[in-house]
Structure 1
Amino acid sequence: MRKPVIAIDGYSSTGKSSISKILAERLGLIHMDTGALYRGITYYSLQCCADAQGNINFEKVFDNLKNISLEFRKTGDILTLFLDGEDISQQIRTKEVSDHVSQIACQKEVRAFLLDTQRAIAAQGGVILDGRDIGTVVLPNADYKFFLTASIEERTKRRFLELQNMGVEISAEEVSHNLTTRDKIDSEREIAPLRQAEDAILIDNSNMSKDETIAAIISHIAEF
């Protein structure tokens, strides 16, 4: 029997990726972090298509998309992202990539390039995809759709602690500014803006732990 496809969208630092990974393990599904794909393109752009000041040449990025080998490889129940054969799972989580990913994600050429990749992986079923436009654009016919949100104060605290644990020196004010900027770019972009699908279940986890959020999601999923 075909296993379900689950779409989880929402704002930055609501725990989409980590929650999706745990859900995949508990439900026997594969987790695909779609945001990692955009981070992978961003990492490539910063490495190969940017000047000394970090300004990205988007035309150069678009011209080189056809030459980029970006793929997920399965390790157990986890899909690890590789760029041209190199594991870049750590590199794509840096502050530099985070600061530029929304610029890349709003480019229609990039979104078109990655759309087929995401749909092909989901076509077999048994996957959880998380991102910003999964339920609205990438997989509008997903079996289950969820949209995660939380207050900017709570999201700032979570992201600040995450960066501290990574050894990144940054103020909470900078983190808050980065998050609100990304919210604005993601929500107002012309191509596939961040929004809740009409049939998605909204979960505000401002005052919920990760386990509580996971339990809330599972409560809506029928046995399979």
Structure 2
Amino acid sequence: MIELNLEFSEDNMAANMQIAIDGPASAGKSTVAKLVAKKLNYVYCDTGAMYRAVTFAALQRKVALDNDQALKEMLTDFDLKFVPADPEQLVLVNGQDITRQIRSTEVTNQVSLVSAQPSVRQEMTKRQQEIAASGAIVMDGRDIGTTVLPDAEVKIFLIASVHERAVRRYKENVKKGMATDLAVLEQEIKARDYKDSHREISPLTQAQDAVLVDTTSLNIDEVVEKILKIINQHEKY
């Protein structure tokens, strides 16, 4: 099961929309989605953290990352919770706080393999759809607009150059005190892009009705403002 222990105001809930934000690694999805959700007083769901949590749990329990059946069995005892905290919400699996661990290089480099497994994809999609059922949610990931929430009222597809995304990841790692190399990060991002866009189940692709937003030359506030304008335009029609 999964719980979102998040509180939000009903002052700005009239539209009750589902907002899907997709895009490749380090395009700024999570950061932007959190801010958009806060502006709208909507719930935010980080689906990437869900797949990372599954990956970390599999590594921790020494479950083969390409063994679909073994991962399916593991998920029968996989209680995932998002708990509000400052500066970021916590990710708990079976009561263990794994917020920091799921951002490790090992998890980052293996999550595409785990998320490509049919049973994992099916279970996480089901849980995500349950979370979004009541609307008033901003959800980001790789296949939200195409598979998880195909009827979402607003769909955004964020992109940025590989170099820009590597620089962003480099700065994040330095801030966290993690050893990193910009050239290596670029290669890892390219490799993950390929894996995400070429997997058989729910590959990374832009939904036909999604609005493309290139964040390469934009700062976070500018991206948020652009998305809010897109949402406001939808509400007018």
Same fold, judged at TM 0.5 (above): yes
Query: How far off is 1:174 after superposition?
Result: 1.0
Tell me if 1:48 matches 2:58: no
Residue 70 of structure 1: aligned partner? 80
Contact 1:49 1:57 (8 Å CA) reproduced:
no
Q: Secondary structure at the match of 2:231?
A: coil
- Structure 2: distance between partners of 1:88 and 1:6: 26
Residue 39 of structure 1: aligned partner? 52
Q: 1:111 aligns with which of 121, 130, 139?
A: 121
Residue 98 of structure 2: aligned partner? 88
Residue 27 of structure 1: aligned partner? 40
Residue 15 of structure 1: aligned partner? 28
Contact 1:70 1:82 (8 Å CA) reproduced:
yes
Contact 1:32 1:79 (8 Å CA) reproduced:
no
- Structure 2: distance between partners of 1:173 and 1:118: 34
Q: TM-score, normalised by structure 1?
A: 0.92
Which digits, 9 at most, give the CA deviation of each residue in 1:24-54, with x for residues without a partner? Answer: 111111110000000000000110025xxxx
Q: TM-score, normalised by structure 2?
A: 0.87
- Structure 1: distance between partners of 2:207 and 2:66: 33
- Structure 2: distance between partners of 1:199 and 1:56: 33
- Structure 1 residues without counterparts, runs of 5 or longer: none
Query: How far off is 1:72 after superposition?
Result: 2.8
Query: How far off is 1:161 after superposition?
Result: 1.0
Tell me if 1:4 matches 2:17: yes
Aligned-pair identity (%): 38
Which digits, 9 at most, give the CA deviation of each residue in 1:155-208, with x for residues without a partner? Answer: 111111111111111211110111001000000000000000000000011111
Q: 1:195 aligns with which of 195, 205, 208?
A: 205
- Structure 2 residues without counterparts, runs of 5 or longer: 1-13
Root-mean-square deviation over aligned CA pairs: 1.8
Which digits, 9 at most, give the CA deviation of each residue in 1:113-165, with x for residues without a partner? Answer: 11111001101111100000000000000010000000111111111111111
Residue 231 of structure 2: aligned partner? 221
Runs in 1 of length 4+ with deviation above 6 angstroms? none
Contact 2:80 2:94 (8 Å CA) reproduced:
yes
Query: How far off is 1:87 after superposition?
Result: 2.3
- Structure 2: distance between partners of 1:60 and 1:116: 19
Q: Within 5 Å, give how 1:203-218 maps onto structure 2.
A: 203-218=213-228
Residue 149 of structure 1: aligned partner? 159
